[in-house]
Structure 1
Amino acid sequence: MRVTAIALAAGTLFCAVVQADLAVFGYLPTWNRDAAAKVDYSKYTHVALAFGVPKADGSLKFDGTSYLSSVVSQLHSTKTKALVSVGGWTDSNHFSTILKSPSARSTFLNALVNLVKDHGIDGIDIDWEYPGHEGNPGNAIDPQNDTKNLLALVKDLRAQFDSRFGKGSKLITLAGSTAPFWGPKGPLSDVKDFAGPVDFFNLMNYEINGSWQPTTGPNAPLYFETNKGSQASFDSSVRAWTKAGIPSKKLLGGLAFYGHGYKASVDMTSNPKNQYVAHTGDAVGDWTYVSLRRNGILSGPTTAAGDWVRYYDSTTRTPWVFNKKTKVYVTYDDTQSLKEKRDYSANNNLGGVMVWSIDQDYD
């Protein structure tokens, strides 16, 4: 894979020119589909509409059913693969119990196959957050069996896809965190059996630091800073998944088109080389890149506006902005940091990149 496989254009976060062997996979939330009306989908090789919601009995609710076929036709007109993603942070609560119930599991498997058949989509993305450990509070989990049950499901889904639609003609992708799927003792050291039935693993290399921790820190570091903030990163995620047996070509490194803002307890401009300071606990919301541009925080791709000052962390390879008057700190990604992740993906032979989410870009 050559570094020139993806190009970034001024004025937008991510404007891709894609070679045949490089995936650029974007998530498109159904609740904000209109915000992406001007997106040039030819820049994406794959787009997943998010999310289908698994119900307790294994049935599937998808709010985009009424327009799904037309969206699929639109994506196919630009030679973009169309998928539906099921689950997500809010709606992963039933995965564990569904896969332990023979009747619910059968209903769920059939629902996935029928969704593909009825709307001509190219595959299914399963975004279970997370097998073996709790994501959103209240999710059902079974550390002993969740990952084993997920593997059995994707094997059966692959068999159904291949028998009904032709071998390899439909896609199965899985979302993954910065560590491989969990077992009873934490992240598993061997998940290689997933590599057969699964086409891509979308690594969510973001939500790594945030207001839930005692200090400020980057949402999506390319590298972590030793002994500061969470000791996870884009790089450590790739290394963990490949060490656990997933070929690098099946990994898509996650790119965040958003960040987090919260109030620092000190003036961070006094020591801009340190991105980690105590904060007050007052979160000031998630900031999409488009909102940073439209609300007077950024005046250009890498330029802060007004009372805001932009810095670039040379260790984590991430930008951040700070307002000295309000002491608000915002961690996010821009064209500079995404270019570094793009180059990393190319130089480490990844299958490509994944974007959360398409609607958060600025044009």
Structure 2
Amino acid sequence: MNLFRTLLRRGLSAAALLALAALGAAQPAAAATQWVMGYYVAYQRDMYPPQSIGWGGLTHIMMGRVKAKADGTLNLDFDWDTTHGPALAKDIAKRAHAAGKKAILMVGGADEGATIRAAVVNHRAAFVANLVAAMNSLGYDGLDLDWEDSVDWAKFQSLVTDLRAAAPNAILTAPMAAININYETVDSHVAAIAAKLDRISLMTYAPATVWAGAGSGWLSWFNAPLAGEKETTPVSIASSLQRYVAAGVPKSKLAMGTSFYAICYTGGVTGPNQSAENGVAIRGGDNDFPLSKFYGKGGVFDWSRRFWNARASQSYLSLPTAESHGCRYVSYEDESALLAKGAYSRQNGYGGVIVWTINQGYVTSHSRPNFLLEALRKGFIDPNAAQTVGLSVMQGDVSLAPGAQRRFSALVTGTTNKSVTWSIVETGCGAIDGAGRYTAPSTQKTCTVTAKSVADRSKTASAKVTVSAASWTPSFSVSRSGTWWVEVLAKDASAASMSIQWPDGTSSPLSLEYRQYGTNYPVFAANYEFPDAGGSYYFTAKSTSNRTAKVKLKVPACAHGADGVCH
């Protein structure tokens, strides 16, 4: 998994070893054939408040994360701190159990393999005891062993054997790699490891499924393709699952993987199976292009630009102009793709799906913000489940000059009929046609544009249009704390997003880091490499009403100190 790094490393005290007396406390695994296991991570807690979790679309929640220390103790800060992190973990477990779901602790993750290996090789008994003690003390039903790098497969087998002996009723799972058909194989220890686990989940999503760069030979491909593997697009869910089965893993113990983020290709690529060389780059991905942003207010999703690849069972956008990452081709998950994955898993006897991360799939601007989990419920858990129509206006509230035009589009979920009818609530507020093309009135006023679902006429969504000749001219200031980190203060509380334009004409988003105390002004940050000498760059900000301001700002220079670090 791709995770934020943290500085704090705290673990259980030696007294945790005494918790071995309670080793059998975890409950047995759920009996459902299909498991939908959603990862919830503390560092994305603001994206998805615990009280909003859509439990109907889950059988298990995977709380991230516990980190190993080389001496066999644990860091329990959950990428937050040692007070709030464990408190959140306990809260998630309680909510899961109240909803009749199972809760599993994620252990490790990307770049954590070296410390896991040290703990297993040198302190396995203590490590096992600490893991089981943490599971029990935090109220969890099992452990998810994310040993993803620096793997010693023989030691991995020993670890799961010892854990199963120590906690026979615990749910034990592990994510493993997708398979590139050109050269990768399943390690010979995996079948024996699977015998001790309840599920092996394959991380069959980007970046493992895609590649770009000179000499790679790969064509543009999908975030989580169900099928369609070939030499130039060598990764798919189906082929990866089949190779693990051939290695001796029972189908019922295998789960596919998907993600709630989008990826996209630069360089003029407009769809799958196009050259990914000659300067093409893959953008987006974990943390950078969450589906909450993709489908959210002001997001890039547009039903009229959506296409379906039947071979891969994947949706994608092919855009006439590049979006904020510099891409015209965007690969993402939608209801159709998730339903297809569920049908494949059920029909072929596989064991379900993992989702990285469910935090990134919560669309706050939509009337059914958990519509992706609702699709997983129907696809994997209950094919007969009724779906509820959800609706939102993608553009949200906007500001327009008198007489200006703007095309509105609707996000319709819970039905295959994506059509809407458009209307204007107030008289004298301009006109809108059937395609959502709106023309503002010639006078300044506030108007309301409304979309009504054709599939369910009781479902509507609206956007306010502020018609005004006034321009939006907030001021900005920029600061720098090193080679990679730049922060931009937008001196207007209504600023909602910001991007930077690079010298080659492409652009990249900045993240909203925090709001300045006392003013509520937003501070946007860019974790990109800037020259030591600094330089001038164009930054584009958007307001909550989709007004745009483009400014040229000077990124300060920095000097390398005696420690060699750019300050």
Residue in 1 that maps onto 2:114: 93
1:32 corresponds to which of 26, 31, 44: 44
Matched, 1:71 2:92: yes
Residue in 1 that maps onto 2:294: 292
Aligned partner of 2:308: which letter? Answer: Y
2:144 corresponds to which of 88, 109, 125: 125
1:319 corresponds to which of 315, 320, 345: 315
Shift of 1:189: 4.7
Shift of 1:127: 0.8
Tell me the SS of whatever aligns to 1:245: coil
Check 1:323–1:245 CA distance in 2 against 1; reply closer, same or farther (3 A cut).
same
User: What CA deviation, in whole Å up to 9, does each residue of 1:325-358 have, x standing for no partner?
Assistant: 2253222221111111111101111122221111
Residue in 2 that maps onto 1:105: 124
Shift of 1:157: 0.5
Tell me the SS of whatever aligns to 1:344: helix
User: What CA deviation, in whole Å up to 9, does each residue of 1:79-126 have, x standing for no partner?
Assistant: 11011101111423322222221xx32332121011122122101000
User: What CA deviation, in whole Å up to 9, does each residue of 1:103-156 have, x standing for no partner?
Assistant: x323321210111221221010001113xxxxxxxxxx36xxx11100111110
Shift of 1:360: 1.7
Counting only pairs closer than 5 Å after superposition, residues 1-363 of structure 1 correspond to structure 2 as 20-37=32-49, 38-63=52-77, 64-101=85-122, 104-130=123-149, 141=150, 146-162=152-168, 169-179=169-179, 187-189=186-188, 191-207=190-206, 208-211=209-212, 215-229=219-233, 231-265=234-268, 268=270, 274-278=273-277, 280-286=279-285, 287-294=289-296, 295-299=298-302, 303-304=303-304, 309-326=305-322, 327-361=327-361, 362=363, 363=369
Count residues in correspondence: 309
Shift of 1:276: 4.7
Aligned partner of 2:254: which letter? Answer: L
Aligned partner of 2:60: which letter? Answer: H
Would you tell me which structure has more helix in proportion to its own residues? 1
Check 1:279–1:26 CA distance in 2 against 1; reply closer, same or farther (3 A cut).
farther
Equivalent-residue separation in structure 2 for 1:282 and 1:273 (angstroms) = 14
Equivalent-residue separation in structure 2 for 1:315 and 1:93 (angstroms) = 38
Shift of 1:210: 3.8
Q: Tell me the TM-score normalised to structure 2 length.
A: 0.51
Check 1:279–1:328 CA distance in 2 against 1; reply closer, same or farther (3 A cut).
farther
User: Gaps (5+ residues) in structure 1?
Assistant: 1-17, 131-140, 163-168
After superposing the two structures, state which structure 1 stretch, 203-212 or 116-125, moved more: 203-212
> Which of these two proteins has the greater Rg computed from alpha carbons?
2
Equivalent-residue separation in structure 1 for 2:256 and 2:273 (angstroms) = 26
Residue in 1 that maps onto 2:509: none
| Residues 179 and 185 in structure 2, CA contact (< 8 A), matched pair in contact too | no
| Residues 27 and 50 in structure 1, CA contact (< 8 A), matched pair in contact too | yes
Shift of 1:176: 1.0
Equivalent-residue separation in structure 2 for 1:236 and 1:199 (angstroms) = 21
User: Gaps (5+ residues) in structure 2?
Assistant: 1-29, 78-84, 364-368, 370-567
Check 1:187–1:249 CA distance in 2 against 1; reply closer, same or farther (3 A cut).
closer
What's the % identity of the aligned pairs?
28
Shift of 1:188: 2.3
Check 1:332–1:49 CA distance in 2 against 1; reply closer, same or farther (3 A cut).
same
User: What CA deviation, in whole Å up to 9, does each residue of 1:166-223 have, x standing for no partner?
Assistant: xxx211111111249xxxx953256321233101111111121144656422121111
Check 1:171–1:19 CA distance in 2 against 1; reply closer, same or farther (3 A cut).
closer
| Residues 36 and 359 in structure 1, CA contact (< 8 A), matched pair in contact too | yes
Shift of 1:280: 2.6
Check 1:192–1:19 CA distance in 2 against 1; reply closer, same or farther (3 A cut).
closer
Aligned partner of 1:199: which letter? Answer: D
User: What CA deviation, in whole Å up to 9, does each residue of 1:248-294 have, x standing for no partner?
Assistant: 1111111221121231345x3xxx57455546344442222221112
Equivalent-residue separation in structure 2 for 1:279 and 1:340 (angstroms) = 34
Q: Tell me the TM-score normalised to structure 1 length.
A: 0.78
